[in-house]
Amino acid sequence: MAPLAALLPLLLLSNAAALAKPLEYHSFVATPLSPHPYTSPAATADEDAFAGSLAAAEDGASSAVHFPVVHRDAFEVNTTPGELLRHRLRRDKRRAARISRQATAGGYPAANGTRAPAGGGVAAPVVSGLAQGSGEYFTKIGVGTPATPALMVLDTGSDVVWLQCAPCRRCYDQSGPVFDPRRSTSYGAVDCAAPLCRRLDSGGCDLRRRACMYQVAYGDGSVTAGDFATETLTFQGGARVARVALGCGHDNEGLFVAAAGLLGLGRGSLSFPTQISRRYGRSFSYCLVDRTSSSSSSNQASSSRSSTVTFGPGAVGPGASASFTPMVRNPRMETFYYVQLVGISVGGARVPGVVESDLRLDPSTGRGGVIVDSGTSVTRLARPAYAALRDAFRGAAAGLRLSPGGFSLFDTCYDLGGRKVVKVPTVSMHFAGGAEASLPPENYLIPVDSRGTFCFAFAGTDGGVSIIGNIQQQGFRVVFDGDGQRVGFAPKGC
C-alpha cells in the first residue's frame, strides 16, 4: 500500500491540472503605427458643411444636423505617429499627476452624422483627440445665435464649460473661427451678484461693468480667463439648449491644441450635464472612437458605428446592453466619477494580487478609489494592483517575445514585428454590483512605433487614486447615469 499512498498526491495534482480551466485568448491583429494613419477631407470643406448644417437647424428644429468629424491631417503637417504618441503620453502624465495631487490633498483646488437617439436627448459625434495632438476626445457643437461651430474637448474631470472668445488678449491657435459674443443675439453677461457667479470656485467681478469673471487653471500650466456668461448651444439634429452658463475666455494659453474650448462633464453644479438636467435628466453617455481612427475612414463609414456623446433618456443607445456599477461619492472631490473596481481577470482567471482593499476609496480622507476619466489616456492602478496585473499578463503571454526596455511610462512591451495575427490573453475588469468590462485586445496592447513594438497599456501609480483611462474605454458606450447614481459599460456601443 505504501507505493499507492505515495502516488496519491501526484494523482490528485494530475487530476487538478486536467480539470483546471485553460486560459482564454483573443486573436489580435498586430497593426503597427503607420506613417499615414488618417484620411480626411479638407478642413475648410468640413467647416463650411458644419456651418451649413447648423443654419438648417436654426430654420427648423426637425432638420437633420450632420456634424463632420475632423482629425489632425486637416491641421497639422510633418508630425509622425510616433511623435503624436509621445506628445500624448507626456500630456497624459501631466494630467494624471494633477489628479493625483488633488487626491493626495484630499480635495479639488479652487463626421458622419448620426440620428438623434430614439429615447430623446441630444447627440453629437466624437473625434479622437490623438488626431488633434492631445489625449482627449472632441465633439463639435454650435455656440450662439447664429451658431458658430466649435470643437470642444470632452472632460469628465472638469465642471466649467468654456471656449475662446473674441476679442482675444491672448489666444492659442484653434480649429475654425473664434466665437465672437458681439455677433450673437443669445449671449448674456452674468451679473456679479447673480447666484451663477457665486457658484464659481475662482470667480471675480469687473466692477466697472458689473460683469462676473471666471478663471480656470490646469495642472500643466494651461489657463483660461474671461467673462462668465450664458449662451445657447446647438447639437445634433437641431436640438438647442438655451442659457448654458459658460466661460467666454479672452485670455487663454497652454496645451489646448486645436480645440476651441472645453465641455465640462463632471458632477459639479456648473457642469453641462447638471445644467441641462431639468430638461434632459442627469444621464449622458459617450462611445469613444479608436484613438487612431475617424468616422471618415472606411472602417467607420457606417453611421451606426459613429462615435457620439448623448445626453438625455437616449444615453443608452438602442439595443445596447450595459452592465452597471454604483457610483461612489467622494465628498472631497465632487467632480469625478468614482466606481469600485473589485478585481481584474487575465486569461479568464482572476488575478489574486488585484485586491479590493488597494483600490477602495477612503471617504474620510478622500484618498484612494478609482475614477472613470475621459481626459486620461492610460489606465493607472495602485502600484500593488498594477504589479500583480502586469506579472499575470506577462505569464499568460509567455509565447510573445518581450521587447527589451520599455516605452515612456510602459514597462511591458512586445516585439511583434513581422507577425500579423497573434494570440493574446484576455483582460476583464470587474466592478461592484457584478458589472464587467471585457476589453478587446486593442484596448490594452497598443502600437508605439512602425517596427511592430506593442506595449501593455496600463501603468502603476503611487498617487492615491486609480484612473480608468480612455484607451481602455474605447469601443464601449460608457453611461453616466446621474439620476440612478451608476456607471455602465456597453460593449461594442459605437
The pLDDT of residue 121 = 59
305 CB-near residues (< 8 Å, 6+ apart): 295, 494
Domain 25-35+318-491 sits in CATH at 2.40.70.10
- For 274-333, how does the pLDDT look when each residue is reduced to its tens digit (9 = 90+)? 999 888 888 888 887 765 544 433 333 333 456 678 888 777 765 558 899 999 999 888
Q: Which amino acid is at 229?
A: A
The pLDDT of residue 463 = 82
Find the catalytic residue in 159, 373, 449, 481.
Answer: 373
Find the catalytic residue in 46, 73, 92, 155.
Answer: 155
Q: For residue 336, give the nearest of 370, 367, 368, 310 by alpha carbon.
A: 370
CA distances from 317 to 112, 306, 353, 440, 491 (A): 17, 12, 36, 20, 11
The pLDDT of residue 455 = 96
Parts of the chain with a pLDDT under 50: 1-2, 4, 7-19, 37-46, 49-50, 53, 55-75, 108-119, 127-135, 293-304
The pLDDT of residue 255 = 65
Is 155 annotated in the active site? yes
133 CB-near residues (< 8 Å, 6+ apart): 72, 76, 79, 84, 87, 257, 258
* DSSP codes, 62-129: TS---PPP--GGGT--S--HHHHHHHHHHHHHHHHHHHHHHHHHTS-------PPPTTSSEEEEEEEG
Task: Indicate the domain borders of the chain.
Answer: 25-35+318-491, 50-104+135-287
- For 430-476, how does the pLDDT look when each residue is reduced to its tens digit (9 = 90+)? 999 999 999 999 999 999 998 999 999 999 999 889 999 989 998 89
CA distance 322 to 191: 43
* DSSP codes, 231-279: EEEE-GGG-EEEEEEEEEEEEEESS-TB-SEEEE-SSSTTSHHHHTHHH
Is 373 annotated in the active site? yes
Domains 25-35+318-491 and 50-104+135-287 share a fold: yes
Burial class (CB in 10 A: 0-12, 13-18, 19+), 417: middle
Half-sphere exposure of 350 (CA within 13 A, CB side): 11
The CATH homologous superfamily of the domain defined by 50-104+135-287: Acid Proteases (2.40.70.10)
